[in-house]
Amino acid sequence: MGVKKAKKKCCKDKPRCKSCPVVLKRLSDAGFATRIDLMTYKFDAKPPKKAVSEARSR
C-alpha cells in the first residue's frame, strides 16, 4: 500500500494520532506493517479499522 513515516515525538493526544511512533510500532508488532528503519514503516495492505483503533488507544 505504501510507506508511512512516524513523527519525531508523540504529542500525547487521546487517542493517539495515526502517525505517532507508538501507533506504528504497535501495528508493526501486530503484523500489519514492516519496519524499514527507525522512523519508516511499510504497509502491504490497509490495516483493519479495529487494529488501528486498538493501536491508537491509551
Q: Which residue has the cell 513515516?
A: 5
What is the phi/psi pair of residue 5, to 5°? -105, 135
According to the model, what pLDDT value does residue 57 have? 95
Asked if 41 and 27 count as a contact pair (C-beta separation under 8 A), the reply is: yes
Q: What is the pTM of this model?
A: 0.91
| Domain membership of residue 36 as a residue range | 2-56
According to the model, what pLDDT value does residue 11 have? 86
According to the model, what pLDDT value does residue 33 have? 95
* Total of domains in the chain: 1
pLDDT along the chain (58 residues), means of 10: 90 91 95 95 95 95
